[in-house]
Amino acid sequence: MWPMPGADRNSLNNRFCVNLRVYWEDTDAGGVVYYANYLRFLERARTEWLRALGFSQQDLAAQHGVLFAVTRVQIDYLRPARLDDELVVTCEPRRVGAASVSFAQDIRCISTPGVLAAAEVRIACLDTRSFRPLRMPEFLLSAFEAQEKP
C-alpha cells in the first residue's frame, strides 16, 4: 500500500514513520527523555500518518462530526532517549474495527540499533458533541483497512 505522500514520511523497512529531534523540553533531570513525552512523540506519528492518508483531524471534526481519542496505551520503555537524539517513530494500524483502531508503534534512535520504546495504542472514533463511540464514516474505515497489517 506504501508509499503514501507526505513530507514527514521516511522509509523504515517500508513502514510509515516520522523523524524528530529530542530538545531540552523533552528531557528531565535524569538526563533522559521524560517518560510521558514518548506519548507526545507517538501522537505526532499518528497525526502525520492521518495527514499522509489525506485526512485533517480538524476537517473530520468540522465536516463529519468525528474525533479520535486514545482509549488505551501499553508502552515498554527499553532504553532511554537523550538530548539531541534524532528519533524515528513508526505507526502501523493492526486491528481496524468499526469504531476503533489499534496501532503498533515503536521509537528508535537513528544512530543506534534496536528499539527504545515499543507501544500499542488504541484510539476510538467519537462523536464530537457527545464524546460517545461512533462508527467511523465509510471512507475512513476503508482507508484504514487498506493500511492494516496482520
Residues β-bridged to residue 33? 27
Cβ 27 to a second copy, closest distance in Å? Answer: 4
10 binds a second copy, rule: CB under 8 A:
no
81: which 3 cell numbers? 532517549
Region of 43 on the Ramachandran plot (φ > 0 left; ψ -120 to 50 alpha; else beta): alpha
Stretch that binds a second copy, among 28-36, 92-100, 105-113, 134-142 (CB under 8 A): 28-36
Distant-in-sequence contacts of 137-142, Cβ < 8 A, 24+ apart: 137/64, 137/66, 140/55, 140/60, 140/66, 141/96, 141/98
Closest CB 69 distance from a second copy, rounded Å:
7
Q: How many residues bind a second copy (CB under 8 A)?
A: 38
Residues that bind a second copy (CB under 8 A): 8, 21, 23-25, 27-32, 34-37, 39-40, 43-44, 47, 56-58, 67, 69-77, 80, 82-84, 131
